[in-house]
A and B are shown apart, each in its own frame.
Chain A
């Protein structure tokens, strides 16, 4: 099913056409066709095992780290295909960043964690690095808590702080899109609230795609929602529509908790 969104913002939109992912010979997901609007939050919901995480990972070519994985179809960031012939996956990931379910800061200092992506790109000037690091941490709403201990180990932060650090780390390279795979599922309610607030703020400057198994979170946080089931995209619309007047019965069943 092809769904089009009413407003198409050219900066940071992801156009997905007939995307399928195979593990060996088994099809894990697809074909999916949808256009994720730029500068908005799009939530991917569905029961566990429905393929939403697999879909998310194919948006920044992270699936390629799995040996048996094969991707068919097309994904375009604005108008450049990320799977095109000769396109470097590494470069793709500089424009499309990712935050994981379990926060994974490096065993380095807070500063070095955030500066990691910048140094990869060759940035060496200390003042420039410092400025970008500060900006990213502020953007992730973490600055006040860590500004006095930037050179301490990142592993000393709480779970919620670590996750915001990972977000800051992803923001530092100033991507166009940020993918989040259940970013708050390992956090307590207060930390979760922080993250949700942050996501809301981020949408002003970035395209955010977030996988969540928490429907209320999707309803709170996103502009658009896509419902996945058994490897297929069932429905994609504004969050308002999905949660109040879904057109597919399976969507309605899931939303109302009849299964999941």
Chain B
């Protein structure tokens, strides 16, 4: 029998200290990176952030005025995108979670498609939007309804929104599926025992309980939609438009796109710098607000769930 003495050791194991330190420093570094980015943007952007900035149009070659059109365009884009993405995403999640047999071929194909869709590079989405929506669908619509005039067969708000909807589809699907699986099986059994069909159980019992999760997914999708630029480069975004978009086939200004062009193609970097920083700040505040509300919704949902499960 090994008789190692109960080694009197006051010190914690060296290994524990090293590991704790190394991983703790890594965590700290990540937080520092975030802080540096935020501080830089806030410091340089706040001075320019006035009510006027948010409500006026840009002027003097982007050195003065505001970015209201970009805000408007972003909101319009995001609303249209959500209208398109939510039904398709929720339906897919319901199918996968409630109807599909896990080993069926069709189920596996859908799952593979969802997983891979999430990984497609954003610029490829942009090209898809250009090739499919703008040229194929839009061009087709022009030939059918407008006698060949270029109305829909060019970059437009609707095509950008649909392209973004395809991009954010996986986000909605994943969030909805998580919400569906959090609905307790007991409730489903109770509903079935009372004679409800599968559809009735889903529509009357499961879905209502899954709403917070679906909401979280929608918020996260919106957050992505507000920030992604590559997919809208060729499907509808523009740098400067004299008027706000008022039909589906108008072009639009967008916050992220504005940042991109201003940062890389501005003729006078120093003069446009304040406007640029302020735009970034607006974009970040928007993203932060969306993410925070998603977190709040999710944590409230979790608390509600744990309470109901006892």
A residues in contact (CB < 8 Å) with B: 77, 80, 82, 84-88, 90-92, 94-95, 173-174, 176
* Nearest 6 CB-CB pairings of A with B: A86-B8, A88-B9, A86-B10, A91-B7, A87-B6, A91-B6
Which residues of A have CB within 8 Å of B7?
Answer: 87-88, 91
Given contacts A86-B9, A86-B10, A90-B13, contact A174 B1 (CB under 8 A): yes
Nearest-neighbor residue (CB-CB) of A80 within chain B: B6
A92 to B6, CA, bound (A): 6
A86 to B9, CA, bound (A): 5
CB-based contact A91/B4 at 8 Å: yes
A85 to B9, CA, bound (A): 9
Nearest-neighbor residue (CB-CB) of B9 within chain A: A88
A174 to B1, CA, bound (A): 6
Which residues of A have CB within 8 Å of B10?
Answer: 86
Taking the nearest CB of chain A, how far is it from the CB of B198, in angstroms?
35
B residues in contact (CB < 8 Å) with A: 1-2, 4-10, 13
Nearest-neighbor residue (CB-CB) of B13 within chain A: A90
Which residues of B have CB within 8 Å of A82?
Answer: 6
Taking the nearest CB of chain A, how far is it from the CB of B6, in angstroms?
5
Nearest-neighbor residue (CB-CB) of A82 within chain B: B6
Which residues of A have CB within 8 Å of B5?
Answer: 80, 91
What are 20 of the A-B contact pairs (CB < 8 Å)? A77-B6, A80-B5, A84-B6, A85-B8, A86-B9, A87-B7, A87-B8, A87-B9, A88-B6, A90-B13, A91-B5, A91-B9, A92-B6, A94-B2, A95-B2, A95-B4, A95-B6, A174-B1, A174-B2, A176-B1
A84 to B7, CA, bound (A): 11
Taking the nearest CB of chain B, how far is it from the CB of A61, in angstroms?
10
A92 to B9, CA, bound (A): 12
Which residues of B have CB within 8 Å of A176?
Answer: 1
Nearest-neighbor residue (CB-CB) of A77 within chain B: B6
Additional A-B contacts beyond A87-B9, A91-B9 (15; CB < 8 A) = A77-B6, A80-B5, A80-B6, A82-B6, A85-B8, A86-B9, A86-B10, A87-B6, A87-B8, A88-B6, A91-B7, A94-B2, A95-B6, A174-B1, A176-B1
A95 to B1, CA, bound (A): 9
Chain A CB within 10 A, most for which of B4, B6, B8, B13: B6
Given contacts A86-B9, A86-B10, contact A94 B1 (CB under 8 A): no
Which residues of A have CB within 8 Å of B6?
Answer: 77, 80, 82, 84, 87-88, 91-92, 95
Taking the nearest CB of chain A, how far is it from the CB of B14, in angstroms?
13
A91 to B7, CA, bound (A): 7
Which residues of A have CB within 8 Å of B13?
Answer: 90
CB-based contact B4/A94 at 8 Å: yes
Taking the nearest CB of chain A, how far is it from the CB of B146, in angstroms?
63
A90 to B9, CA, bound (A): 10
Taking the nearest CB of chain A, how far is it from the CB of B17, in angstroms?
14
Taking the nearest CB of chain A, how far is it from the CB of B166, in angstroms?
39
Which residues of A have CB within 8 Å of B1?
Answer: 174, 176
Taking the nearest CB of chain A, how far is it from the CB of B108, in angstroms?
25
A82 to B5, CA, bound (A): 10
Taking the nearest CB of chain A, how far is it from the CB of B61, in angstroms?
61
A196 to B6, CA, bound (A): 30
A171 to B9, CA, bound (A): 25
Which residues of B have CB within 8 Å of A91?
Answer: 4-7, 9
CB-based contact A84/B2 at 8 Å: no
Which residues of B have CB within 8 Å of A88?
Answer: 6-9
A92 to B4, CA, bound (A): 10
A92 to B1, CA, bound (A): 14
A61 to B146, CA, bound (A): 82
Which residues of A have CB within 8 Å of B2?
Answer: 94-95, 173-174
A186 to B91, CA, bound (A): 42
Taking the nearest CB of chain A, how far is it from the CB of B215, in angstroms?
35
